[in-house]
Structure 1
């Protein structure tokens, strides 16, 4: 994005913050579950397969939620969907907080995964659509900073309550419950996306022959939108193999492979959080400028080097710590946040949330399948595990460097820039939306 950078007012930042809290809760749910399962294990009788199954189920339900939530957000509006999904998330976290048996954990994980998955694509779309021109990237990138904050809060709490066993797990989930309820109250006062309202009205008012298909995914599977759908879906799914593995199984690796304990793992994990926050803040400053591609390439290099350390030197507390610190810087520059920005830039308003939901769903389905076997791979062939993680960083980096930047941008109501209707990027009804 090369538009002049403007200074947003308070309202766009408030919208971006409340929308970006979906990323805080997403990261918080993943990392909390990673630690809580270890703490719950003795009391609730969890084994290796429970670790893999619960982690995979969380990711699987997140994927399903993203698929449905993204479509509903385009069809019924951003506000209605992300209010309902956050209420559902709070209910699921309550189940996990007060779980007294393994089956309750499975029920809570299903609800939480589906709810936060449905929330994320809708919230991101709202943040971008309410941002002023020249600042959209920053508004979306704020979610990446909040994602790191979510991890940091859980890690700090894990240091404090990690020695409390079952009670510690309940306290970790209770934090997410309180935050989700506060955000729910604040979100209830938000207005609907003006851009979505305008686009929806234009689409409905268009002649039947030109009307956008608001009920299926067919437009995304045809030219010219299929190329960005495929590119962003492949980037995110391949990159997320590494990020999701570390997010869900870092505590498991420290405790069951490196021979450490939960408080130590949490304390060491805390070292990478400030670095991740710094890289996220740097990315917010450069995301709306052409130089972001250089920073992206640097992020890929840092992430790859981080995964290489345990592979080359063996899995131990020092090598896992080094991976977290070095890789933490790379994630902020070449990870989920840039994917979120790309999806805002490449898809028209009325399919934007659907496109995000579809690519997020695909990504999390892949991650769920891998998570099911991750504990077994980690304990039987940890070298192979880190080889896969390095490959995920390199391959996703190549997609982000050589493919995605060449894709045409979608038109926006503010500027009318991007590929023209003659080039096939948007149908007539979307053109009407952009001229409204």
Structure 2
């Protein structure tokens, strides 16, 4: 289907509205942590165990939603699933907004977790499939910028409502509800992915074909060559890279206060300081992501991430090394990590398995991070050097996978074109897009 043209008159409209899944994902996770762990905790008498269960359950629900939503999106279409998932998201946020006890909170976190998990893989696939040739990577990467915007929006809003107690938490959830409803109404104006529709018709018309150029559509096809290797490589890369990023996201404040004896407000200010740098770096990477130069930028970003985690592993977790980890890895993540994983997830898988594969690797990564998080506080305090040494180790594993393994994987071939290595150089304006 490389000859298909997008039926969307404005691909950036599609990229923005579908990419808002990343904004709503980040905003929901950050808002839940701030509102449930802070504003709601005392008024609703939520103990540490309850707060941990609520936030952990939201992560597990995300994993389940990604598995289910990704597969349904490949089977029944992008538009139907990302519309339903956003309705579910609005319901979940409404439950969290009006909650007066743990029961509604549990219902709300499960519902929002399922919704954002289902939305992300399908929305990424739609952005890729409706983007014009030579701009697919740019528009998929744009979703990462919206993810960052979601964090910034919540942190800024939280800084204004911090003194309002439980009402502050309700205001944060109201923000999510308003954005979700507006995006839902605007998404109704989008059409179905032309690429997916054509692939679905071809698969339904020839369900028993055995040609090597078959457009893979069955789940079992995901686990045989060549897609099986791509699934393993992208899943392992994302999970090993994300362990460090998730540790900073969930436990950065804990590590700063417990190990470096710093103050919470100080850490929050440093976190906000790094966000503009990441945003500008992301804009720069958007300009090269569809060009041959992207591999060099990815290598540079990977090197920064490894160097960042080497500092506390070698010199201990002091204030300087923890700030360096946050700022240096944050810059490196603009050119590697989740941003490049999203690109690979679109390039390496055929149309009718694209969202399924993304859902599987996202679910695996979230579950892996969730299990690791259970022992993080105790392990970090009791075996500090070993803790940071392990984080450096898994980060190095992700570097090897991204630099050595992934470039050797074949991009998903179209029926009319042969597969090509994912790391092969391509002309700047005529790069073949993944199906």
Alignment of 1:326 with 2:328, yes or no, is yes
- Tell me which residue corresponds to 2:13: 14
TM-score normalised over the length of structure 1: 0.87
Give the Å deviation of 1:392.
2.8
Give the Å deviation of 1:156.
2.0
Worse-matched range after superposition: 365-374 or 116-125: 365-374
Distance (whole Å) between structure 1 residues aligned to residue 275 and residue 120 of structure 2: 22
Distance (whole Å) between structure 2 residues aligned to residue 276 and residue 164 of structure 1: 30
Worse-matched range after superposition: 391-400 or 112-121: 391-400
Worse-matched range after superposition: 167-176 or 238-247: 167-176
Q: How does 1:40-59 map to 2 (within 5 A)?
A: 40-59=40-59
CA spacing shift, 1:157–1:337, aligned 2, 3 Å: same
Q: How does 1:18-417 map to 2 (within 5 A)?
A: 18-39=17-38, 40-206=40-206, 208-210=208-210, 216-254=218-256, 263-312=265-314, 314-315=316-317, 319-412=321-414, 416-417=417-418
TM-score normalised over the length of structure 2: 0.87
Which 5+ residue runs of structure 2 have no aligned equivalent?
422-434
**Matched residue SS, 2:290:** coil
Aligned partners of 1:12 and 1:131 also within 8 Å: yes
Give the Å deviation of 1:202.
1.2
Which 5+ residue runs of structure 1 have no aligned equivalent?
421-433
CA spacing shift, 1:354–1:305, aligned 2, 3 Å: same
**Matched residue SS, 1:42:** coil
Distance (whole Å) between structure 2 residues aligned to residue 168 and residue 308 of structure 1: 39
Worse-matched range after superposition: 84-93 or 206-215: 206-215
**Matched residue SS, 2:334:** helix
CA spacing shift, 1:249–1:403, aligned 2, 3 Å: same
Distance (whole Å) between structure 1 residues aligned to residue 307 and residue 159 of structure 2: 27
Give the Å deviation of 1:55.
3.1
Q: Tell me which protein shows more helix as a share of its residues.
A: 1
Q: Which runs of 4+ in 1 moved over 6 A?
A: 211-215
- Over the residues paired in the alignment, what is the CA RMSD in angstroms? 2.8
Give the Å deviation of 1:314.
4.8
CA spacing shift, 1:374–1:96, aligned 2, 3 Å: farther
Distance (whole Å) between structure 2 residues aligned to residue 120 and residue 109 of structure 1: 17
The count of aligned residue pairs is: 415
Distance (whole Å) between structure 2 residues aligned to residue 386 and residue 96 of structure 1: 35
Give the Å deviation of 1:106.
2.4
Distance (whole Å) between structure 2 residues aligned to residue 380 and residue 95 of structure 1: 39
Distance (whole Å) between structure 2 residues aligned to residue 41 and residue 379 of structure 1: 25
Distance (whole Å) between structure 2 residues aligned to residue 389 and residue 163 of structure 1: 36
- Tell me which residue corresponds to 2:426: none
Aligned partners of 2:215 and 2:414 also within 8 Å: no
Worse-matched range after superposition: 93-102 or 176-185: 93-102
Give the Å deviation of 1:253.
4.0
Give the Å deviation of 1:273.
0.6
Distance (whole Å) between structure 2 residues aligned to residue 37 and residue 385 of structure 1: 28
Q: Deviations over 1:411-431 (max 9, x none)?
A: 248x835259xxxxxxxxxxx
